[in-house]
Amino acid sequence: MTGFTASRRRLLAGGGLALAGGLLARPALAQVQTGSHWAPDRPVRFIVGFAAGGPTDVLARRAAQGFQEILGQPVVVENRPGAAGNIGSEFVARSPADGLTLLIANSGQIVINPQTYERMSFNPMTDLVPVSKLTTGPFLFAVNSQMGVSTHAELVALLKRRPGEFKYASTGLGGITHVVTEMWRARVGVETEPVHFRGTAAAVPDVLANRTPMFFDGIQMLGQHVRSGALRAMLRTDATRSPVMPDVPTAAEAGVPDFNVQSWFAIYAPRGTPRPVIDRLAEVNRRVMLAPAMVERYVAEDVKVDPSSPEELAALGQQYFRIFGDAIRTSRIRVEA
């Protein structure tokens, strides 16, 4: 496989910078309109680019209830899975910019897909605008217990003894779990190939059945299976151990230094959505996500409730565009779609 050309990378990076610049170039309007009482006059749709039951879907359904109570209109979650989230993302990008159709996205949809897909009819870095972050959390790396390994070191030794024999699950070709696993694979020097699924909910059954026995995902989706003994946790991609699963080592403790990659979820709207609408949605999101019951629920799942301003989300997107871009070029990940 060949990597992206330098000109394409510059184009995409420039698009991301334009997004951040577009948000930051209108401070006067933002200051005047912050706290706007815009309210929808019709139902709102949360579009999820993955199958029902995965982390993006679960988060969207939890948030929808609070949005509905505050906005006074039904908030409907609509799943449009496929192409590592691109189908759902493009649907929102092509929707009217009226605040009624919003994307609940994982970070990969925004900052990875433009760098892995050779052909896209839209660019999520420019055709979608940031509203607010929802949550942030590390990845948990778990393997099927039938592999017979107890530690990350044992896993690496097994994979080196039997190269290419074991496969790992990803939530989509060129998607976030694919890229994160390739980052890990390159750092530890093992040979293993992916099997791509249409989201976490589709991948977990094959991981539990030992057909694709290795998987990077969130504790909220894999933790119950680790606690049951079906899966064994190898590491978490954070600098500190989790109070939820204190026996799971950090990446550095497991022998993979500087591998503190976070998974974040956020709300995006179509380009051209008026700034007062963006501000109102960000305000509502902050109220919904910081509700004590919501915070408590996510703390129990090793996830940080982390609502942000549009500008903060734009800056985060730029940061992770660079982080994942380096990994994509090193691993030469490309999706010919």
- H helix count then E strand count, the chain: 14, 11
- Render pLDDT for 57-101 as a digit per residue (tens, 0 to 9): 999 999 999 999 999 999 999 999 988 899 999 999 999 999 999
Strand 101-106 with 44-48, pairing = parallel
Other CB atoms within a 10 A radius of the CB of residue 118 amount to 12
Regarding whether 210 and 133 lie in a shared domain, the answer is no
Residue 246 lies in a domain: no
pLDDT of residue 312: 98
- Assess whether pLDDT exceeds 60 at residue 5: no
Of 134-138, 157-161, 273-277, 325-329, the least confident = 325-329
Regarding whether 154 and 122 lie in a shared domain, the answer is no
Residue 274 lies in a domain: yes
pLDDT of residue 8: 36
Strand 128-138 with 304-305, pairing = antiparallel
Regarding whether 155 and 119 lie in a shared domain, the answer is no
CATH number at 154 reads 3.40.190.10
Residue 336 lies in a domain: no
Task: Count the domains in the chain.
Answer: 2
The domain in which residue 231 lies consists of 140-236
Q: What is the pTM of this model?
A: 0.81
pLDDT of residue 198: 82
Residue 257 lies in a domain: no
**Could you tell me the strand order of the sheet in which 262-270 lies?**
75-79, 44-48, 101-106, 262-270, 128-138, 304-305
- Assess whether pLDDT exceeds 70 at residue 120: yes
Regarding whether 126 and 25 lie in a shared domain, the answer is yes
More confident site: 53 or 2:
53
Regarding whether 25 and 108 lie in a shared domain, the answer is yes
* 201 confidence band (pLDDT: 50, 70, 90): confident
pLDDT of residue 337: 61
Q: Which residues pair with 136 in a beta bridge?
A: 264, 304
